[in-house]
Amino acid sequence: MSRRFPLPDRPRLWGVALSHYQVEGGDHCDWTDWEAGRRTRGAPCGDAVSSWEQYETDALLAKAAGANAFRFSVSWSRVEPRQGEWSDDVLGRYRRLVDHLAAIGLEPVVTLFHYTHPSWFHRSTPWTSSASIDRFARFTRRVVEALGGSVRVYVPLNEPLVFLLAGYLDGQIPPGVSDPASFRLAFGNMLSAHAASSAVIRELNPAAAVGVAHNMMAFAPDRWWNPFDRLIAAAAHRCYNQSIVEAYAEGRWNFVLPPLLRMKGRNDDLPASIDFFGVNYYSRLHFRSPGKERVVGDFHYRDRSGRGLTDNGWEVVPEKLGAMLMEASQSGFPLVVTENGIADATDTMRVAFLEAHAREIAVVEARGVPIHGYFHWSLLDNYEWLDGYGPRFGLYEVDRTTMQRTARPSVETFRELGRKFLSVP
């Protein structure tokens, strides 16, 4: 089964990806509460990189870098600061951004959930409660009504599994829950919320394309000859990468995370709820079992590919982008790389990183799997969740005292690769 990418006049997207909390600044939400409890390693988000004021100039920087698309997210906590109270000013602000993007020829790609929630959400309608589905659908309705027909691409959820694992099983991010039963409930509700959100988008904007952005990681045994390491790496691949692809492709999941959790579920609305499947790909993890930190196994980044680790210690393995895309292509949905990028403050690795990942996309396409878009993470240096402002992911460097943006040399490479990517019909 192979479906068509639904933007006939723009079959290929070359863009940058950002998320509201990481760039906007001054957004009070569950993550701010979490930071106040000092539960992150890095500096608090604070003013971020003040994109709330500078979105229009940021969009121009993306344009100058050769992008034809701009992926950003809408802050739920700004739009609905108190349950049921909607801010027209905030919706108007996002509308101005969208109009500006259209005016300068950038396709807006709008994410509705990128990790943060209004502070009231976890008290009132957490993901463990089925009421969360309707809350998210109502938020979707307000946003889609406000943004109008110029938004043709929506991503209701960014990395639902990363959020669920870290927020409901590992307790590392808000809401900080560490409980398999809650994870199970939240998992089902969140996928239902995706389907409900997608239905609202299509009702209001039937021409819109809807996709999910799923984080896919490569997993390898730390010692290739060790059967336990191999077993754990294979199990991680199965649950982390494949179960979400299957959930969207077939409306069924069989999620096994030994020894914590085993769950089967179904949602018949999921397969019809997306028009494309987005892959966020960054790196590879190596498993060793039994582990020192966790009995089942520890995971580490290693420089097995010999390209050097990134500033935040991640391995660079471009060929695994190809492997992940081939895996995702099993779903039959048109594919988009919704995120890919590197923390590299000195910009010494980014050019090779960009070139190698673009080559990998070409290899996948030569195998008969078209890739309809590539979004680089990120346009700007930004706030990095648990690590504050340490890792620098930007094509543009940001000086946080002046908020000045300066192009890194790799912007040239991004532009040149984009020109080639977009010249293919």
Residue 280 is a binding residue for ligand BGC (CB under 6 A): yes
Q: 180 to 209, contacts with ligand BGC by CB under 6 A?
A: none
The CA distance from 62 to 332, in Å, is: 31
Tell the smallest beta-carbon distance from residue 383 to ligand BGC (Å): 8
Non-local (6+) Cβ contacts of 13 within 8 A are 7, 68, 69, 107, 109, 153, 336, 372, 373, 374, 375
Please work out, in degrees rounded to the nearest 5, the angle formed at the alpha carbon of residue 245 by the alpha carbons of 155 and 271. 65
Residue 384 is a binding residue for ligand BGC (CB under 6 A): yes
Best CA proximity match to 370, nearest among 341, 330, 336: 336
The number of helix segments (H) and strand segments (E) in the chain equals: 14, 13
Given the complex with ligand BGC, which of 17 and 146 has the nearer CB atom? Answer: 17
Residue 289 is a binding residue for ligand BGC (CB under 6 A): no
Per-residue x/- marks for ligand BGC, 142-181, CB under 6 A? ----------------xx----------------------
Tell the smallest beta-carbon distance from residue 92 to ligand BGC (Å): 25
Residue 315 is a binding residue for ligand BGC (CB under 6 A): no
Tell the smallest beta-carbon distance from residue 377 to ligand BGC (Å): 6
Given the complex with ligand BGC, which of 55 and 229 has the nearer CB atom? Answer: 55
Among 16, 19, 25, 137, binds ligand BGC (CB under 6 A): 19
Residue 339 is a binding residue for ligand BGC (CB under 6 A): yes
DSSP state, 273?
G
Residue 80 is a binding residue for ligand BGC (CB under 6 A): no
Q: 243 to 272, contacts with ligand BGC by CB under 6 A?
A: none
Distance of CA 21 to the CA centre of its chain: 13
Residue 338 is a binding residue for ligand BGC (CB under 6 A): no
Question: Is residue 346 within 8 Å of 134, Cβ to Cβ?
Answer: no
Tell the smallest beta-carbon distance from residue 328 to ligand BGC (Å): 15
The CA distance from 68 to 12, in Å, is: 9
Tell the smallest beta-carbon distance from residue 84 to ligand BGC (Å): 28
Residue 241 is a binding residue for ligand BGC (CB under 6 A): no
| Segment holding 406, helix H or strand E | strand 404-407
Among 5, 377, 389, 414, binds ligand BGC (CB under 6 A): 377
Question: Is residue 279 within 8 Å of 216, Cβ to Cβ?
Answer: yes
Distance of CA 35 to the CA centre of its chain: 21
Q: Is beta strand 298-300 parallel, antiparallel or unpaired with respect to 276-288?
A: antiparallel
Residues within the interface to ligand BGC (CB under 6 A) = 19, 158-159, 215, 280, 339, 377, 384
